[in-house]
């Protein structure tokens, strides 16, 4: 499980980059060893990532003490992505990302509207458990997201 510090320090992004490289290598070579390594790397992912509907998202936002909005973690890798640009971060993750300039403070209403717009446009939302709590509400792109890419390879990593 990733921690707040992993997000603030950039370690999460480095992990995403490594996984993206493995996926690219597998797609290029179809090497079963790479697929097995991806599967092993993903074995606990379903415990930490789940799809959420607007009711669940609004409850998480309503119960949060801090809210921030910032770029999806994967956007540094996929700068050409035209899908939703921002995610919502809650509580200590929100505070940490604001303090390192990776997000900005937001109101609960602003966060809810951002996610609602994403759902209206057909973008699924994945909630990520960070430091043991649901703190990242991602406005996902099913083309760029490393989780969706693994799912497309038949590697389960999102609880539905």
Can you give the residue ranges of every domain in the chain? 4-152
Burial class (CB in 10 A: 0-12, 13-18, 19+), 80: exposed
Percent over 70 (pLDDT), the chain: 100
**Residues 116-144 pLDDT 10s:** 999 898 889 999 999 999 999 998 888 88
Judged against a pLDDT cut of 80, whether residue 151 lies above it is answered with yes
Q: Given this model, what pLDDT does residue 75 score?
A: 81
The pTM is what?
0.94
Q: With contact defined as beta carbons under 8 Å apart, do 89 and 70 qualify?
A: yes
Give the residue among 145, 128, 148 at the shortest CA–CA distance from 137: 128
Q: Given this model, what pLDDT does residue 67 score?
A: 98
Antiparallel, parallel or unpaired: β 49-52 and 125-130:
antiparallel
């Amino acid at each position: 499980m990733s921690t707040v510090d992993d997000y603030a320090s950039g370690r999460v992004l480095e992990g995403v980059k490594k996984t993206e490289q493995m996926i690219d290598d597998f797609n290029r070579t179809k090497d079963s060893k790479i697929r097995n390594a991806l599967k092993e790397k993903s074995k606990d992912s379903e415990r930490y990532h789940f799809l959420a509907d607007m009711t669940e998202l609004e409850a998480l936002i309503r119960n949060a003490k801090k809210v921030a909005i910032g770029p999806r973690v994967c956007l540094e890798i996929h700068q050409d992505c035209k899908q939703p640009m921002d995610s919502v971060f809650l509580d200590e993750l929100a505070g940490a990302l604001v303090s390192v300039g990776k997000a900005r403070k937001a109101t609960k209403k602003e966060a809810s509207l951002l996610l609602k717009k994403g759902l209206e446009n057909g973008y699924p939302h994945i909630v990520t458990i960070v430091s043991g709590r649901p703190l990242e509400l991602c406005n996902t792109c099913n083309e760029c997201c490393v989780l969706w890419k693994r799912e497309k390879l038949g590697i389960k990593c999102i609880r539905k």
